[in-house]
Amino acid sequence: MTTRPILVAGAGIAGLSLALALARRGIATRLLERRAVLSEAGAGIQLGPNATHVLDRLGVASRLAPLSGRPEAIMVAAGRSGAHLARLPLGDAIDRRFGSPYLVAHRADLQAVLLDAVRESPLIECVLGFEVAGWHHDGVAVVATSSDGKETHGTLLVGADGIWSAVRRTLFPSAMPTYAGKMAARTVIPTAAVPARFASNVTGVWLSPDAHVVHYPVRAGQEIAVVAVVDEAVPREGWGGAIEATSVLARLIGFSPELVGFLGLATEWRAWSLYDPAPLPAWSKDRVGLMGDAAHPILPFFAQGGGMALEDAETLARLIEGAAGRPEQAFSRFEALRRERVLRVQTASRANGKTFHLDGFPAQARDTTLRLAPGALMMRRYDWLYGWNGDAI
Ligand SMILES: Cc1cc2nc3c(=O)[nH]c(=O)nc-3n(C[C@H](O)[C@H](O)[C@H](O)COP(=O)(O)OP(=O)(O)OC[C@H]3O[C@@H](n4cnc5c(N)ncnc54)[C@H](O)[C@@H]3O)c2cc1C
């Protein structure tokens, strides 16, 4: 391997974890992040055992453990009545089955443990305020250029710059994310203020036509992370911008008063319009490739976009390590290994989004199935997803 670093655009979950996975293999990275300060919105993230396996391999799982939660189950409720529909076991059951826990965390805590590990590594250089705008080859190296005219040289350029990826635009200018007709509003609520049902150690999912709500404890149980997903005809300007609490509550009017009362405790909400683009024709060209949301944005109804970014990082790092001499080959192998799995997760997530918002007879049929089917059996449908541990790369 040449002494030039791997250039990674974006220090989100994908970029940070790729840099760590490369460093563990002795490969240097230069992380180029457009923001001057790294921070995270007040929001949570669920991490299935496939994701926590990677965090363990990156050496950060033990740092995240005291900050995160390990919910006992996913509790599904009818949104209008609050009636209990299903209990899908997590906790010890999932840990035993897959050898790694299902965790829930505040995004700032996940980012902090990844960033601490990045800063401790002599093989990772984190350059803030570098907005990748383009790139070219100089015959030997790939040269990333910033929007204000800076240049930096590397062996490969990996676009880990999220759903609005500038690197993707350079490769596939016409590939724009398609609006999915839904908006997600997120917040965190201090646990001390909330009724017992919402403070319990579970992931709660409330279903109703046109909307669903998910909540789970973060920060070692001190806060409850909430996401409310509603149908919305027109996408919003911006990504993660502030939204009035009254505006969120107005869209959740049909929900049970118990849930609405709980959500009324939130003071600050942020909103993300959700996008569901068609698959890209390819994830790389020559020495420039994509990963994470830049390559394959995933609707959040399966809580797996971050999980796929972590799996991507472990896979790509291993392939770059194995492709010395022809590093660009790592990208084509990466796509061959990852595309089908990611497509399956995208499809499953899309289907969950439809199922969550069913109305009328289809909703009754869904609820009956949820009431009657054993939770443990329902969880087995996801063995293909949670059973990933990187051994087969
Ligand atoms: C409402 C919602 C709920 C979700 N819940 C979950 C969940 O529970 N579990 C889960 O696993 N996933 C979840 N996801 C998905 C998950 O958040 C994403 O898949 C994940 O954050 C993608 O990580 P990334 O690093 O690819 O992109 P990002 O997190 O978007 O990071 C991209 C980084 O690149 C930087 N950047 C952008 N452009 C440039 C540029 N030109 N130059 C340099 N830097 C640049 C950005 O500043 C950012 O730091 C959810 C998503 C949403 C919207």
Give me ligand 1 centre to Cα 310, in Å. Answer: 11
Looking at residue 316, which CATH number applies to its domain? 3.50.50.60
Domain count for the chain = 1
Task: Give the CA distances from residue 6 to residues 22, 48, 144, 302, 367, in Å, rounded to whole numbers and listed in that order.
Answer: 9, 28, 11, 31, 49
Give me ligand 1 centre to Cα 240, in Å. Answer: 11
Consecutive 10-residue averages of pLDDT for the chain (393 residues): 85 98 98 92 92 97 95 97 96 95 96 97 98 94 96 97 97 92 96 92 96 96 96 91 95 94 96 94 96 97 97 98 90 97 97 96 97 95 94 82
Q: Is residue 232 part of a domain?
A: no
From the candidates 102, 216, 275, 382, which is the catalytic residue? 216
Q: Is residue 77 part of a domain?
A: no
pLDDT at 44: 95
300 CB near ligand 1 (under 6 Å): yes
pLDDT at 3: 79
How many CA atoms within 13 Å lie on the side-chain side of 159?
Answer: 28
Q: Sign of the C-alpha dihedral, residues 36, 51, 310, 278?
A: negative
pLDDT at 1: 44
Let me know the angle formed at the C-alpha of 248 by 245 and 254, rounded to the nearest 5 degrees: 130
223 CB near ligand 1 (under 6 Å): no
pLDDT at 275: 96
Among 127, 104, 114, CA closest to 13 = 114
166 CB near ligand 1 (under 6 Å): yes
Q: Is residue 22 part of a domain?
A: yes
Give me ligand 1 centre to Cα 256, in Å. Answer: 32
- The range of the structural domain enclosing residue 313 comes to 6-71+104-176+279-357
272 CB near ligand 1 (under 6 Å): yes
Q: Is residue 218 part of a domain?
A: no
Strand partners, 247: none
Q: Where are the beta strands (DSSP E) in 14-150?
A: 29-33, 44-47, 73-78, 84-89, 103-106, 124-128, 132-137, 142-146
Helix/strand/coil for 364: helix
Calculate Rg over the CA atoms of the chain: 21
| 275 assigned to active site | no
Among 182, 188, 300, 303, CA closest to 245 = 188
Instruction: Kindly report the pTM of this predicted structure.
Output: 0.97
User: Residues 272, 228: contact at Cβ < 8 Å?
Assistant: no
Nearest CA to ligand 1 atom 51: 300
Q: Is residue 336 part of a domain?
A: yes
33 CB near ligand 1 (under 6 Å): yes
Q: Is residue 254 part of a domain?
A: no
**What's the rounded Cα separation, in Å, for the pair 317 and 324?**
12
161 CB near ligand 1 (under 6 Å): yes
Give me ligand 1 centre to Cα 288, in Å. Answer: 19
**What's the rounded Cα separation, in Å, for the pair 151 and 157?**
12
